[in-house]
Structures are given as C-alpha cells and as structure tokens.
Amino acid sequence: MLCFLRGMAFVPFLLVTWSSAAFIISYVVAVLSGHVNPFLPYISDTGTTPPESGIFGFMINFSAFLGAATMYTRYKIVEKQNQTCYFSTPVFNLVSLVLGLVGCFGMGIVANFQELAVPVVHDGGALLAFVCGVVYTLLQSIISYKSCPQWNSLSTCHIRMAISAVSCAAVVPMIVCASLISITKLEWNPREKDYVYHVVSAICEWTVAFGFIFYFLTFIQDFQSVTLRISTEINGDL
C-alpha cells in the first residue's frame, strides 16, 4: 500500500476516497433520517437537512480543497513534462487548470449554500462545478493523448477519454432536465408531472460525479513519480 502511494500519489487517492465517502455518508444519513427517498435523490438533497447538511458541507469543502491541490499538481507535472519534451502549447495546460479551479470554487458554493435555502446560488455553484469539471477532464484527456507514449500509456489515454465522453454525454441531459423541473423539493411522487425529469437528471448527476472520481483515480500513477519539497529561507538579522 505504501509503495502504491509513493511520491504525491496520496493526493488524488485521498481526493477519491474522501469524495466517495462524502457522497455515501451523506446519502446514508439522509436516508436513515427519513429526509430523502432512497431511490435517486439529487446529491445536494442528501446534504440539505441537518445533521447530514453539516457532514456534507464539511466534507465537500475539503474535497474542493483536495481537488484544487490535485489539479495544481497535475498542472505542474504536465508543465515539467512539456519542458522536457514539447508536445503541447502551455496555454492549453493553463486553461485546463483555471477551469478546474473554477469548478472547485463551484463545489465550495454547493457545500456552503444549501439547496432549499438559496437555490439560485446553489444551482449556480453546481453548474460551475459540473460544467467546468467536465471540460477539465476533456482537456486533460487531450493532453494525455498529446503526451503519449512518452508520459502516458495508450490504455490510460483511452480510459480518460472514455470517462470524459460519458461525463459529457451525461451533463447535457442533467442540465436540460433539471431546468425543466418547476419546483425544488426533496420528496417526489412518481405520479407527479416533473418526476421523469427528476429521475433522468439525478441519474446523470450521479454519473458525472462518480465520473470525476474515477477520472482522478487515473492520476495516481502519474503522481507516484512526483515529490514535494519545502524549503525555508530566513533573510536579515534576527
């Protein structure tokens, strides 16, 4: 296990495990508390009512931080690889980083503004997180292909692009169906007119969310060869 997590590999590994735990724990607590229907609630539904709202907010905030740390480290890895053997314009890597950080900022908004309390702000944060996150994975997949075979195996590139494609395909109906729902609520009845839109958008939301998790799982091997050094310098007389 320690060999598996050598270098900076613990960063994406912690992101994946922590984010998965955030979704699962919030869901279990919300269902056991009777606050949501066990069948396909929105991810945000599982973090709207206390006590799960506190768990959801804390864990998603830390996930956003880990996501930003992972994306910045990935940016530095690609930058160093590109300096060693040029394969892509640096702007491409920078744009990917900026979009990824904007997506992490959106996660922070989702974590701190509950769905029923301030729905416009919450939905705006979710839109940022999902759209920017999907574009980030797509750009990183293209970068992976450009750096293949020197820095990535072809199979890794295919896996990343497949996850990106599924996420792209899911995020569009997620947004469209969610926009067609006339009311924001936690309890749904199958006989209601917007129920089908809710089910489709919820399925797509969970698909995209776990698509992100599986995508960052593919970063672990890249991060194994990276080390973090912290240097301290004291200037002037004490």
What does the pLDDT look like over 137-173, one tens digit per residue? 999 999 999 998 888 899 999 999 999 999 999 999 9
229 pLDDT above the threshold of 80: no
pLDDT band, residue 27 (cuts 50/70/90): very high
User: Per the structure block, which two tokens stand in for 111?
Assistant: 């974590």
Q: With H, G, I as helix, E, B as strand and everything else as coil, classify residue 218.
A: coil
pLDDT of residue 196: 93
Q: Which domain holds residue 13?
A: 7-221
Please report whether residue 21 resides in a domain.
yes
Q: Cα–Cα distance between 55 and 69 in angstroms, integer?
A: 21
Please report whether residue 68 resides in a domain.
yes
Burial environment of residue 179 by CB neighbours within 10 A (0 to 12, 13 to 18, 19 or more): exposed
User: Per the structure block, which two tokens stand in for 60?
Assistant: 């998603």
pLDDT of residue 204: 96
Please report whether residue 236 resides in a domain.
no
22 pLDDT above the threshold of 80: yes
pLDDT of residue 122: 93
Please report whether residue 133 resides in a domain.
yes
Please report whether residue 2 resides in a domain.
no
Please report whether residue 230 resides in a domain.
no
Please report whether residue 238 resides in a domain.
no
Please report whether residue 35 resides in a domain.
yes
- Count of the separate structural domains present in the chain: 1
What does the pLDDT look like over 54-98, one tens digit per residue? 999 999 999 999 999 999 999 999 999 998 888 888 899 999 999
Burial environment of residue 39 by CB neighbours within 10 A (0 to 12, 13 to 18, 19 or more): exposed
